[in-house]
Amino acid sequence: MPGASNKNDYVVGVDFGATKIYAGLFTATLNLVGASKMTTKPVRGSASVMDRIARCISDVVDECDLTMDKVRAVGIGAPGAVDPEAGRVILAPNLGWQDVPLQKELEKRLDLPVAIENDANAALIGVYEEEFGGKPRHVLGIFMGTGIGGALIINGELYSGFNHSAGEIGHMTIDIDGPKCGCGKLGCFEALASRTAIFQKIKAAVADGQKTLLTEMLGEKLENLRSGDLRKAIQKGDKFVAKCVEDAAEYAGIAVASLVNLLNPEVVALGGGLIEALSDVMMPRLTKVATARALAGTIEGIQIKDSMLGDKAGIFGAAVLARRRTK
């Protein structure tokens, strides 16, 4: 019957990190029907986190007035080093996980086929399939949010390297005398241009007496500061905040130039919460700096684009993985 839907026509894509679990229900043709969010609470341990992932999945299915027997498969983007073939999270420091059989445990909880992948890899697959139609041969994905993650598509396929951990661009040294990174080294890309880095810079300056509209909006301690607040302050003419965000964009441009020189991809795709909230401030600067700094012949014809999927890239990519899992 053309147009009629089969019993198991849906897939669920899950993007989970140390802070939140985000699950989206998709049709077989990758239309997003509905989504659900839940906190991760990693301190409760891996079994509890996996229970919560399963609950977030059943929540979104229920929210869309469906039942689990309509779901064909589940895809999951998880933080850290992930071995998709073995179905295991090898190492995820943010979660405190080491060698967790995420795929098997969730298949047990859900009674459904589950595919897992690193979160940045899943996000790039989402951007690649949904936005780029799977066309460019080589794509570099850069995801800027709390941290900075990256992923690579080479010859049309995800490249994950020898230890399933390729794409860790956040810890590329850009300024050997720069601020200290969470990894312990100085001047990593992430320590200069992530949301965390921008927030720290703003808070330190405010503590030193810097005036900004942000304190009028949020109080002196800048509690609950979010990317959207930076956007609002810039729109109201706050030059200090604009400078902080532009500096981050400049560092990102420097990183993109180094990466284009090295990898010479066809497309550089920027995504993540920071880019989603501030793309109109960051992208022109980032693109200008990257283009000026990359070697002339190398940058030619290469597209530098911000993703339209925003923070939905991860659930889209996880849904693509779920769909592949059932083929």
Residues that bind a second copy (CB under 8 A): 80-81, 90-91, 137-138, 150, 154-155, 159-169, 171-178, 183, 185, 187, 254-255, 257-259, 261-266, 293-298, 300-302
Name the packing angle between helices 239-263 and 227-235 (round to 10°).
120
Half-sphere exposure of 209 (CA within 13 A, CB side): 0
Q: Give me the residue label for tokens 């999270």.
A: 89
222, 242, 275 from 236: Cα distances, Å = 17, 10, 19
Q: What are phi and psi of 237, to 5 degrees?
A: 95, 20
* Nearest to a second copy of 80, 272 (CB atom): 80
Spatial distance between the Cα atoms of 60 and 110, rounded to a whole number of angstroms: 13
Give the pairing of strands 267-271 and 303-306: parallel
Beta carbon of residue 317, minimum distance to a second copy (angstroms, whole number): 19
Q: How far is the CB of 147 from a second copy (least distance, A)?
A: 12
Residue 117: left if φ>0, alpha if ψ -120 to 50, beta else—which one?
beta
> For a second copy, which is the closer residue by CB, 159 or 240?
159
Our CB check for a second copy shows the closer of 288 and 293 to be 293
95 close to 18: Cβ distance less than 8 angstroms: yes
Q: In terms of CB distance, is 154 or 225 closer to a second copy?
A: 154
Nearer to a second copy, 47 or 295 (CB): 295
Q: 99 or 216, CB closer to a second copy?
A: 99
d(CA 61, CA 68): 7
Whose Cβ is closer to a second copy: residue 137's or residue 211's?
Answer: 137
Q: Which is nearer to a second copy, 11 or 254 (CB)?
A: 254
- For residue 189, the minimal CB distance to a second copy (Å) is 9
The distance of closest approach from Cβ of residue 134 to a second copy in the complex, given in angstroms and rounded to an integer, is 16
Q: Which two tokens stand for residue 321?
A: 């993985």
Query: How many Å separate Cα 10 from the centre of its chain?
Result: 23
Shortest distance, CB of residue 225 to a second copy, whole angstroms? 26
CB of 237 to a second copy, least distance (A): 29
Decide whether 126 or 167 has the Cβ nearer to a second copy: 167
DSSP for 264-327 reads --SEEEEESHHHHHHHHHHHHHHHHHHHHHS-HHHHTT-EEEE-SSGGGHHHHHHHHHHHHHT-
Q: How far is the CB of 264 from a second copy (least distance, A)?
A: 3
Least distance from a second copy to the Cβ atom of residue 268, Å = 11
Strands 71-78 and 114-118: parallel
Cβ contacts of residue 316 below 8 Å, gap of 6+? 13, 24, 26, 30, 32, 125, 126, 127, 129, 130, 309
At its nearest, how many Å lie between a second copy and the CB of residue 274?
20
